[in-house]
Structure 1
Amino acid sequence: MISILIAASIGLLISILFTPYLIRVFSKQGFGQEIREEGPQGHKSKRGTPTMGGVAIIVAMVVGYFAAHIIDWVRGSRSDGPTASGLLVLFLAVALGLVGFLDDFIKIRKQRNLGLNKTAKLVGQLVVAVAFGILVLQFADENGLTPASQHLSYVRDLTLIFLPVPVFIIFTYLLISAWSNAVNFTDGLDGLAGGAGAMVLATYVVISFWQARLSCVETPQAACYDVRDPLDLAVVAAAATGACVGFLWWNAAPAKIFMGDTGSLALGGLVAGLSMTTRTELLAIVIGGLFVVEMISVVAQIAVFRTTRRRLFRMAPFHHHFELAGWAETTVIIRFWLLAAICCMFGLGLFYSEQLGLGGG
């Protein structure tokens, strides 16, 4: 528990102190956000606001994670140090963050709202996802547990649904691509993705910690969890939560800096990675419900327009629909944060009710 608190505290501290430095550096270098012409007119004033702030989130998360383990080691804790599961989730977030950084950098250099073309972005996500999909089935511990399972999972593995390795890798790519793009779509208003992301990650701190308490390795029973490194995953999620909250201090409306694709792709990778390593891929759809609905609004808008030549929403992602309907930006953000919080609480409720159903409460 102490390592979780240390990771969250250091992640928060690094993020809240490092972000102003990035604001000064990026402003000096002219690394400002380009605003799409067809977007809400009220967003035109945001042009030139420093972007790529996701760098602060990634750095704070990584420093918070390793600092927690170093402090544990200095304290003489029984902690085994960084684990395969924790390191792989960090790898996924950092690698996707790098893809997003390249996208942001091209936008800035070419002074346009489009960075990497669709093919380049697709290839970047594909390479990262395939590498993660292969590695996450390696590194079995003494009990034979690997960081992820080839079974589809809700709160535990669904034993009836087994994915052969090639199918599992395809599934991994689709999952990672879906989550990273879902968070990316949500990142359209000041602090919206950062605040919602912090809630989802905090939920995974609770889930991972609960799984550690009822690990099948520690307490074999009907209601235990076959997760390889749940406590270390809680440390990763805590460090990322602290990093998001610290960044949100500067990213909240009116934003002094945007996370850019650097941050949104990294956060999406975290959600995907944590869902796979905690065996909660299906439950994550509920926990990250706001991100899911934002992505569905984009898909639905495209599908309806191509078939009927009419728009389902005034603009997609659908947070812009409410802006164009006359809601103030801060009103949209706060109400969407509330929706994100409801999704997280409902997800936790489902997680705990499943445990009660097995007599593990």
Structure 2
Amino acid sequence: MISILIAAAAALFVSILLTPYLIRVFSRQGFGQEIREEGPQGHKAKRGTPTMGGVAILVAMWAGYLAAHLYNRFSTPQGREPSASGLLVLLLTSGLGLVGFLDDFIKIRKQRNLGLNKTAKLVGQFVATIAFAILATRFPDSRGLTPASVNLSFVRDIAVVSFGIIGFIVFCYAAVSAWSNAVNFTDGLDGLAGGSSAMVLATYTVVCFWQFRYDCKTLVLAGCYEVRDPLDLAVIAAAAMGGCLGFLWWNAAPAKIFMGDTGSLALGGLVAGLSITTRTELLMIVIGGLFVVEMMSVVMQIAIFRATRRRIFRMAPFHHHFELAGWAETTVIIRFWLLAGVCCMFGLGLFYSEWLTASGG
């Protein structure tokens, strides 16, 4: 528990101090955000706001994780080394962050709202995800558990739904691509993606710690969990949550910096990686319900427009629909945060109720 608190506190400290430094540096370099011409008119005033702030979240996440392990090394007799599961999730997150950084950098250099083309972005996501998926089926521990399972999962593996190695790689790519794009779509208002991500990561900190408390490795108990490194995953979730909260201090409306694709793609990769390594892929759909709604609004808008030449929303993603309906930006943000919080609480409730059922409680 102490290592989780240290990870969150260290990441919060690094993020809240590093972000204003990035604001100054990026402002001097002219790394300002370009705004969509067809977007809400109120957003035009945001043109030139520094972007690529996701760098602060990534650095803070790594700092929090390393601080927690530094504490473990000196506070416990045997220490706890970084785990295979933890490092794979961190590398997946950093790989997606690099893709987002390149996308942001091209937007800035070419002074347009389009960075990497779709093919280049998909290739970047593909490389990061394939490396994660292949390595996640290796490195078994003493029980033979690997960082990820080839079975589909809700709160535990669903044994009757097995992908096989090839199918699992395809599934990982679909999950990482979907979640990274979902968070990216949500990142359209000041603080919306950062605050929502912090809630999701706080929820996963609890989930991972609960799995650690009731790990089948240490308990012979009905309802225990077979997850390779749940405590290390809790440390990562807590560190990323701290990074998001520190960044949110400067990203809240009116934002002084945007996370850009650097942050949104990285956070999407992180939640996908956590869901896969904790065996909760379907539960993540509930916990990250706001991201799902945002992505589905874009899918529905495109599909219905192509079929009928009519738009179901004033503008997609969904949050822009309410802006164009006359809601103030801060009103949209706070209400969507409430929606994200409800999804997180409902998901945590499902997780706990399943444990009560499985343990006979």
Alignment TM-score, normalising by the size of structure 2: 0.99
CA distance in 2, matches of 1:5, 1:218: 22
Aligned to 1:317: 317
Within a 5 Å distance, the mapping from 1:128-147 to structure 2 comes to 128-147=128-147
Q: Structure 1 regions of 5+ residues with no counterpart?
A: none
For 2:253, what is the secondary structure of its paired residue?
coil
Match of 1:273 in 2: 273
Corresponding position: 1:121 with 2:138: no
In structure 1, the partner of 2:54 is: 54
Unaligned runs of 5+ in 2: none
Structure 2: distance between partners of 1:89 and 1:359: 29
Amino acid aligned to 2:162: F
TM superposition shift of 1:360? 5.5
Could you tell me which amino acid in structure 2 is paired with residue 296 of structure 1? M
Q: Name 2:68's counterpart in structure 1.
A: 68
Give the alignment's Cα RMSD to 1 decimal. Answer: 0.7
Q: Which residue of 2 aligns with 1:80?
A: 80
Within a 5 Å distance, the mapping from 1:147-162 to structure 2 comes to 147-162=147-162
**Equivalent-residue separation in structure 2 for 1:329 and 1:133 (angstroms):** 39
Local SS of the residue matching 2:212: helix
CA 217–47 in structure 1, closer or farther in 2 if over 3 Å, else same: same
**Which residue of structure 1 aligns with residue 183 of structure 2?**
183
State the Cα distance separating 1:167 from its structure 2 match: 0.7
In structure 1, the partner of 2:169 is 169
SS of the equivalent of 1:358 reads: helix
Q: Distance in 2 between matches of 1:152 and 1:173?
A: 14
Seq. identity, %: 75
Aligned-partner Cα distance in 2 for 1:118–1:6: 39
Deviation at 1:220, TM superposition (A): 2.2
Following TM superposition, by how much is the alpha carbon of 1:222 offset from its aligned partner in structure 2, in angstroms?
Answer: 2.1
Give the secondary-structure state (helix, strand or coil) at the position aligned to 2:160: strand
1:17 paired residue number: 17
1:2 matched residue in structure 2: 2
> How far apart are the structure 2 equivalents of 1:190 and 1:80?
38
Partner of 1:294: 294
Q: TM-score, normalised by structure 1?
A: 0.99
The letter of the residue matching 1:328 is A
Structure 1 position 81, deviation (Å): 1.6
In 1: Cα distance, 2:15 partner to 2:223 partner = 38
Aligned-partner Cα distance in 1 for 2:116–2:269: 18
1:17-56 matches, within 5 Å, as 17-56=17-56
Supply the distance in 1 between the matched residues of 2:119 and 2:247 (Cα, whole angstroms).
30
Partner residue of 2:306?
A: 306
Structure 1 moving runs of 4+ over 4 Å: none
1:55-75 CA-partner distances (Å, limit 9, x unpaired): 000000001101110122122
CA-CA distance at 1:221 after TM superposition = 2.1
> How far off its partner does 1:77 sit?
5.2
More displaced stretch, 215-224 vs 3-12? 215-224
Q: 1:242 to 1:164 in 2, by over 3 A?
A: same
Letter in 2 for 1:207: V
